[in-house]
Structure 1
Amino acid sequence: LESDDAADVLGVLSDEKTEEVISHLDDVDHASDIVDLLQYKEGTAGSIMAKELVKVQENWTVSTTVREMRKQAENVENIYTIYVTDENDLLLGRLSLRRLLNTAVKTQISDIYKPGLEVVKTYTDVETVANKMKKYDFVAMPVVDEIGRLVGRITIDDVVDVITEEAEKDYQLASGISQNVDYSDNVWMLTRARLPWLLLGLLGGIFGAQIIGLYEADLRLYPEMAFFIPLIAAMGGNVGVQSSAIIVQGLASESFLSLEIFPKLKKEFMVALVNGLVCSIIILGYNLIFSESMNMSITVSIALLCVILFAGLFGTFIPLVLNKYKIDPALATGPFITTVNDILGLLIYFAIGRMMYA
């Protein structure tokens, strides 16, 4: 096994078992690499990198380089890139294999390598690593320590695993599952992961019932308002989930040129305004045909427009704020946004209804 795969296997074992396995390894250098990888914090570049790579020194000649590469290549399954360092292992750049093979044997590497290279630090978050590799179409990314020494590399297969895990995590958070669980987990684990958000939804339902109770007198006088409570709540929740999902996706892929909140709120306001006007006109036309109350028709249309505007802005604002304070913005999708927009949507609906019927 390569060092990163071996570290992943040993990472799930107890400390005693890990020490026992490492003590039985014959290759001392390989064992040292594995122990080194186990020291890095989970979720960082250091925790997923592999120690196996091909590196050459700038002061070597082509003939020395080829000889040393043959030795190093024995332990590397896929080379991808030849890294160039100085005598202290400080990463300087990369070397083209084609240029190496077409250069005179006494030429020094310093004369033919390409300086400068995108790198990540050992403490860099794995999501940032994945986004960088996607942005630059890398199949391998060098990892350096705090002072720029080459300590490993991350290959595309490791990044694919990270992307899959993060996508599953975000999907579960958006679905109201607070922990990373699988259907094969026991009942207690599944319940513990799902119950918190269900309780939040229950609490939101209670608040919604209390709001309806506050306007009980209005509903007795104008019972037709009750017909559109599900519509208002559903539309607010749907719009909030849509806007938050787009923001979370943009934050996850780092596709935003800027993280300033106001420009995004302005853009979402325009989108919500257009969508709100279209939906409000449609529901106004419906009520004018099937309802005898003009007040009812206008109330529902205005309330729907206001709810869509608010839900769109709220669904944009919350993920951006959470991201600013280093909290996973995926928490803002799904049950949280839906519940809050349901409650506030009802308040807006009844407040506008009271003004219209007054």
Structure 2
Amino acid sequence: MQQFEITSEFIANVKNFVDEGDNASISKLLGELHHADIAEILDELNFEQSIYIIRLLDSDITSEIIAELDEDVREKVLRSLSSKEIAEEIDELETDDAADIIAELPEAQKEEVIAQLEDVEKAKDIVDLLRYNEDTAGGLMRKELIAVRDSWTVLHCVKEMRKQAEAFEKVHTIYVVNDDGILKGRLSLKSLLTTSTKTPISEIFNPKITSVKVEEDDEEVAKIMQKYDLIVVPVIDEMGRLMGQITIDDVVDVIREEADKDYQLAAGITQDVEASDSIFELTKARLPWLFLGLIGGVGAFLIMEGFKDFFKNYAVLFFFTPLIAAMAGNVGVQSSAIIVQGLANNDVKGSINNRLIKEMLLATLNGIILALFLFAFVWGYEGDPSKAFAISVSLVAVIIVAGLVGTFIPLFLNKRGIDPAIATGPFITTSNDIFGILIYFWIAKMILGI
């Protein structure tokens, strides 16, 4: 299917049809579009126009649209709908999307919506899903799946599969369980088609299957599916019973959300925010790291103030302070970014000591190359090789320490169960600025003999 492009002209046409109450033109214009495209269109309309379209279109379409809406827009839409109207939308959704939407409702309304669902079994499944934390496999999974018993014959299996599949839009995998519901493996379509109808399923199913526990962290689920190239993974409980399945579309959302969170942490934003959030929310998210930067600046001032007599004889050192601080911050961020990326992709293996040694050798090589250039510049500019030597040696030392700090901190945080992404950005930059300036003046003072 070719990707649909939303233009300003198209949005203008939709707005005009809504304002004129031209329902036929709206239905014709939106009828062939994917629900994700319609959701994107509604994000461009005002609230009244969005509600008008949602009430106009059929529930089998609008339910998917509501699930795709931006969270803030969806919250407003749900507030405008009655519990009965929400239940009608929920009835059309798969259980994982239905549970996500109901979880956003006020407690009292959750019960009202669930009570008005037509499909009682689906209501039970949704209630079950709401018990799990949203950041776990249980919070990601859906209940819709095809499961057959290993005690059945192929003929019995096919009959039961037909019954189960009637209510499903897609069948990803055929799971095999025993009479207690414990996951035993998976069944291929080829096996069903090429085997006698009297053959027991126990003789043809594949016992090799990757599964995740219901309490598994959602990020770990994403790593497992990425590692084994899975488009779907079954979810089991502590006893090994099949509880549901997670599909790749849900994992893509997890990967995107984690990437957004890590990017914001690296930029010094302490909580998940968007550009459309209020000034108060944005301030709360940004201020802590900005305050850390302020403290770092005060620390750098105190260090420099302690060397003020040194500046009287070697004022040129003062003018290279921004360069030293910038190099320390840049090297630290580079090192931490590589480590954080490696931890996220599960590529960082081996001991911390080996990683630190490698980073030290890398930083030494980079530092020497940069120091040679800086030495030539300072000597040529100042005409004093001792000053050039002091500044250049300091630069090498600063780069080595910054590389080690940038490597060690994310590894240390990860060992302690803290998101290592917090180590990048302002945290590393500020700490390395302070260390860098202190090392710079200390080494320079030792070399110049004051």
1:130 has 2:222 as partner: yes
Q: Which amino acid aligns with 1:261?
A: I
Q: Structure 2: how far apart are the matches of 1:273 and 1:243?
A: 13
1:304 aligns with 2:395: yes
**Is the counterpart of residue 183 in structure 1 residue 183 in structure 2?**
no
Instruction: Please report how far the alpha carbon of residue 255 of structure 1 lies from its aligned counterpart in structure 2 after TM superposition.
Output: 1.8
Unaligned runs of 5+ in 2: 1-92
Secondary structure of the 1:242 match is: helix
Q: Distance in 1 between matches of 2:146 and 2:251?
A: 20
1:119 counterpart residue number: 211
1:335 partnered with 2:429: no
- CA offsets per residue over residues 294-350 of structure 1, 9 Å max, x none? 121001110110011001011110111111111111111100000000001000000
SS in 2 for 1:80: coil
Q: TM-score, normalised by structure 1?
A: 0.98
Deviation at 1:75, TM superposition (A): 2.6
Question: Which residue number in structure 2 is paired with residue 266 of structure 1?
Answer: 357
2:380 is the alignment partner of 1:318:
no
SS across alignment from 1:83: strand
Aligned-residue sequence identity (percent) comes to: 53
Counterpart of 2:197, as a letter, is: V
* Aligned equivalent of 1:249: 341
Equivalent position amino acid for 1:341 in 2:
N
In the alignment, structure 1 segments of 5+ residues that lack a partner are none
Q: Is the 8 A contact 2:339 2:348 kept in 1?
A: no
Higher relative contact order (CA 8 A, sep 6+): 1
Q: CA RMSD in A?
A: 0.9
Give the Cα–Cα distance (whole angstroms) in 1 for the partners of residues 167 and 230 of structure 2.
Answer: 21
Instruction: Tell me how far apart the structure 2 counterparts of residues 32 and 332 of structure 1 sit (CA, whole Å).
Output: 43
User: In structure 1, which of residues 77, 85, 102 is the aligned counterpart of residue 194 of structure 2?
Assistant: 102
Q: Deviations over 1:210-241 (max 9, x none)?
A: 11111011011110101110110000000000
Deviation at 1:256, TM superposition (A): 2.5
Alignment partner of 1:294 is 2:385: yes
Distance 1:289 1:75 in 2: 80
Per the alignment, residue 290 of structure 2 pairs with 198
How far off is 1:262 after superposition?
A: 0.9
- Deviation track 1:55-89 (CA, whole Å, cap 9, x = no partner) reads 11101111111111111112322212111110011
Q: What letter corresponds to residue 326 of structure 1 in structure 2?
A: G
Question: How far does the alpha carbon of each residue in 1:185-226 deviate from its partner, in whole angstroms, 9 at most, with x for none?
Answer: 111101000000000001100110111111011011110101
For the residues of structure 1 that align with 2:168 and 2:438, how far apart are their CA atoms? 63
Equivalent residue in structure 1 for 2:445, among 348, 354, 358: 354
AA matched with 1:251: L
The alignment covers a number of residue pairs equal to: 357
| Secondary structure in structure 1 of the residue aligned to 2:186 | strand
Q: Deviations over 1:121-146 (max 9, x none)?
A: 01111111001101110000110001
> Aligned partners of 2:99, 2:388: CA distance in 1, in Å?
65
Specify which of 22, 27, 35 is matched with residue 114 of structure 2. Answer: 22
Q: Shift of residue 257 of structure 1?
A: 3.3
2:174 is matched with which residue? 82
Give the AA of the match of 1:129.
V
| Cα deviation 1:78-120 (Å, max 9, x = unaligned) | 2121111100110111111111111111111111001131111
The residue aligned with 1:280 is: 371
SS of 1:42's equivalent? coil
Of 332, 338, 350, the match for 1:240: 332
* Partner SS, residue 245 of structure 2: strand
CA contact (8 A) 2:328 2:398 kept: yes
2:253 match: secondary structure: helix
- The aligned amino acid for 2:130 is L
> Separation in 2 of the partners of 1:65 and 1:339?
63
Contact 1:45 1:121 in 2 (8 A): yes
Q: TM-score, normalised by structure 2?
A: 0.78
Paired AA for residue 395 in structure 2: L
Secondary structure of 1:114's match? coil
Distance in 1 (alpha carbons) for counterparts of 2:183 and 2:210 = 10
Q: 1:114 & 1:21 partners in 2: Cα distance? A: 41
Any conservation in 2 of the 1:307–1:348 contact (CA below 8 Å)? Answer: yes
Counterparts of 1:202 and 1:181, CA distance in 2: 22
Distance 1:250 1:123 in 2: 24
Q: Aligned equivalents of 2:186 and 2:208: distance in 1?
A: 8
Query: Does the 8 A contact of 1:54 with 1:76 survive in 2?
Result: no
Q: Distance in 2 between matches of 1:224 and 1:3?
A: 68
Structure 1: which 4+ aligned runs deviate by more than 3 Å? Answer: none
CA separation in 1, counterparts of 2:167 and 2:292? 53
Could you tell me whether the CA contact under 8 Å between 2:356 and 2:408 is conserved in 1?
Answer: yes
CA apart distance, 1:267? 1.2
Q: Match for residue 232 of structure 2? A: 140
Deviations 1:41-64 (A, max 9, x none): 121110010010111110111111
2:379–2:387 contact (8 Å) kept in structure 1: no
Deviation at 1:288, TM superposition (A): 2.3
Other-structure match for 1:230: 322
